[in-house]
Structure 1
Amino acid sequence: MASAPVESHADAVAHLLRASLDDPGTAWSLGSFGAIAEFLRDPDEPVTALPDARLGLATARGAIALDVLPELRPLAYETAFTSGWNHAVALCLPADACAMGRRAVVTELGPDRQAARVEDRDAVLFDLGLGLAAVDACVRTSDPAALACLRAGLGRPLFDTANPIGPHLVAMSPHRVFLVRFGRIEVFSEIPGPGGTNPEGPHTHVLPKLLKGGRTHAATTPIPAGLVPCGAIHPPHPYKDAMGMRIPFEPARLTAFQALLEHWADPDWLAIKRGGAARPGGPISPKHAQSARRAAALQAQYLRGEFSCEEEAPGDEDEDA
């Protein structure tokens, strides 16, 4: 009797991406520490398939388009803090294969021929020049006034006080387009003004103070040396919704993510979470090992019913982010 064919790495990655795209409860992010684009959608929100072979979809508020690169490595993990935990599947590339434009000044890139929607492919793409290693943070527009403003700032750093783009960027609210080697997220909604809050849907964060550190990810995220997280899949969390608000604990969501850990977590990290000891000289730092054990202990408490649905949601901030 012939044995079943062994699934290749590329097929497994494609299956993970497709299944995650099919789940409206799963959110996505692409970017770097301090500059992130997020894509999420409502369960009943109309979606449009992409007009090409890429994996992804578009809504009226944003779009995501992905390619399955041979070197793309998903890495599932959890990070625990005082009274809760976060989880994600980081989408990593080798450090020598993740480089994007790394432009340090605002640069016009021409028509966005790879836009997720055909109607956006004549609009002009501008790299904001954040100088990030693994992501190009861009904006896109076909509006004549916005084009004139963006072109007036070409060749200057975005945050230069003499750059005319900064004071007008919120009012212009061009599409935001974040590009990494294996894909893009596009955000069509308006940029919130000072004191405003991000919409409950696709949005971006650009935080100059965090960008100054030049880090690719938070110190709490257990990414092995040699890999760079260029994005992440954020499956439904057991005790909070996509906006971080408290919901009744859902054990099925915890079980679903543990299955992802079985397939995509670093084996050393997973062994520690299960109660094993860190290998001497292994890739998992004492801090990350402690976080893995803390996540396991908190999850056991939730499964025993030691947290009520009426309690305030545990904090959602990783320590030393």
Structure 2
Amino acid sequence: MKKLLLSTFAASALLLAGCSNDPEVASTEAGRIREAELYEAMKDEPLQSGMTVGETVLQKLLMEDIFEHTYGDQVTDEDVDEEFAASAEQFGSVEDYESLLEMQGMDVDYIKDNIRLTLLIRAAVEDSVEVTDEEVESLYEEQRPDYTAQHILVEDEELAKDIIAQLEDGADFAELVEEHSTDPGSLDTEGKYTFSEGEMVPEFEEAVEALEVDETTSEPVKSDSGYHVIRRLELEYAPLEDQQEDLKAQVLDNYTNDEQFMSELVSKLAKEANVQIADDDLKGAMAAYMPQDEEEEPAEDVEEEAPADESDESEETDEQTDADANADAENSDSE
């Protein structure tokens, strides 16, 4: 009886110990859900990407560790806060942005962790690429706009004609923009647009192309938006030296968005970091960057066969030996 009680006590202790090592995450009247169960469910829950929830989360954690290991000393908390503040500008202020995130149930620290990872990746790309002057100049030319023009948009054709007459009499274009133009997109720029082909409505572009620099349309230009009075200006485009740093950053961004380049970079860093995934069910987390070596098939045993000509030669030799032996025997009998 004493042994039975001791056994029961021991079993209960083991059960309690197992529970304490596997914390509860949720419960219902039907039972309890523990961390191990949640972990297993996450491992198997598929996503549209083809990976599971567990693989996706593990990949992010590994990425953070890999880039932090090599480039962590190149990204400071100040860098993260500065980037966070830049993102907040479109929402008014940092406080407004934080309030918006809170309303959406998003954690500020989580956002900053993602910003830090982005900055770490940028540091890795910059360390792996030497941006050439040719790349910067090529991007500069690629982004060069075609025209700069100034316009006044009104709804009435007669008003447009009256504005043209005022301009011919020496009226100030910018003042007439402020007084008459109904285009909200150019009110803060004195009616100016700098653009490339295909960015404006066809009627507007055709009219600008037909004008000489500082020339104004002699008749209103009609489009679906109304009637335009247009003046072509000298192309406004900052010189290369003033855009050098921004263009270099864009070149680096292009590398960051290059899937093949980033795959090779992450593969290299993962190998250097000696990434090991102990759980076989989560091996797919880094499959895109750590292709598994195919197991070599064992070579099949091949029985060595003598070449046909060597076999024939051997048989001929044996026959000749037998013939010689018989001849010797006959000679011996005759003697």
Same fold? TM cut 0.5: no
Q: Which of the two has greater strand per residue?
A: 1
Q: TM-score, normalised by structure 2?
A: 0.20
Q: Which of the two has greater helix per residue?
A: 2
Q: TM-score, normalised by structure 1?
A: 0.21
Indicate the structure (1 or 2) with the bigger Cα radius of gyration.
2
